[in-house]
Amino acid sequence: MRPLVSGPLKVVFLVLASLCAWYSGYLLAELIPDAPLSSAAYSIHSIGERPVLKAPVPKRQKCDHWTPCPSDTYAYRLLSGGGINKYAKICFEDDLLMGEKLGNVARGINIAIVNYVTGNVTATQHFDMYEGDNSGPMIKFIQSAPPKSLLFMVTYDDGSTRLNNDAKNAIEELGSKEIRNMKFRSSWVFLAAKGFELPSEIQREKINHSDTKNNRYSGWPAEIQIEGCIPKEPS
């Protein structure tokens, strides 16, 4: 018959067992990284579930186009004014040439001239067509554009009241089909080329007339825009 373990030996055995259990727990705590119980529970719950695929954030394109222009083209976007707080904008190759942020857009016809060969802006100017005689200065500004220039034109507020026939002729010579249809506060945008021809598929002009029944804003038609990609000159 085996002798029974005496009382003191039992105490020593229990103490050693407790120390071993404590040390084992300490080692596990050091080896396993910290993680909240909720994360562990979620991980267990998500086992077997289909992974959720997140679509990548769309890359912003030049002048806020939906799709990128080819590398051998210029991106452009023309936006007319619309309502008293909706200023006109001219964007070229992702550079704002005229707009409220630059403080260089105003009532009337706003024009930017760009060197077609280099893509550099040559000049910008706005011409009030509601007050003053600004048709003459606008004609001179248009005529000052050197050959192989791009001309971008957008209206804000009224661009027709003081627009005389000579000014209409000057714009018509650049290829405008709508300049003689301009009315009070018509929204109008126009892209022209001087000294060369643009491809026929390029969107060049758009107009929207003020109509008391259909105006988006009180007394103002909705803003309009055109955008596209202009082929660069072959090098």
Residues 136, 69 within the same domain: yes
Residue 54 lies in a domain: no
Task: Yes or no: say if 224 and 208 are a contact pair by the CB < 8 Å rule.
Answer: yes
Would residue 1 count as lying in a domain? no
Task: Compute CA 171 distance to the chain's CA centroid, rounded to the nearest angstrom.
Answer: 29
* Amino acid (1-letter code) at residue 210: S
Within a domain: 78: yes
Instruction: Check if the beta carbon of residue 135 is closer than 8 Å to that of residue 164.
Output: yes
Report pLDDT digits (tens) over 138-196: 999 999 999 999 999 999 999 999 999 999 999 999 999 999 999 999 999 999 999 99
Evaluate if residue 38 carries a pLDDT over 60.
no
- The reply to whether 39 and 141 lie within a common domain is no
Average pLDDT over residues 213-228: 82
- The answer to whether residue 34 is domain-embedded is yes
Q: Would you say residue 234 lies in a domain?
A: no
User: Does 64 lie in the same domain as 43?
Assistant: no
For residue 41, tell me if it sits in a domain: yes
**Pair 21, 65 in one domain:** no
Domain membership of residue 18 as a residue range: 6-47
Residue 128's Cα: distance from chain center in Å?
A: 28
Tell me the two tokens of residue 109.
């016809």
pTM across the whole model: 0.74
Are 156 and 187 in the same domain?
Answer: yes
Half-sphere exposure (Cβ direction) of 167: Cα atoms closer than 13 Å: 22
Domains of the chain: total: 2
Both 97 and 209 in a single domain? yes
Residue 187 is assigned to a structural domain of this protein: yes
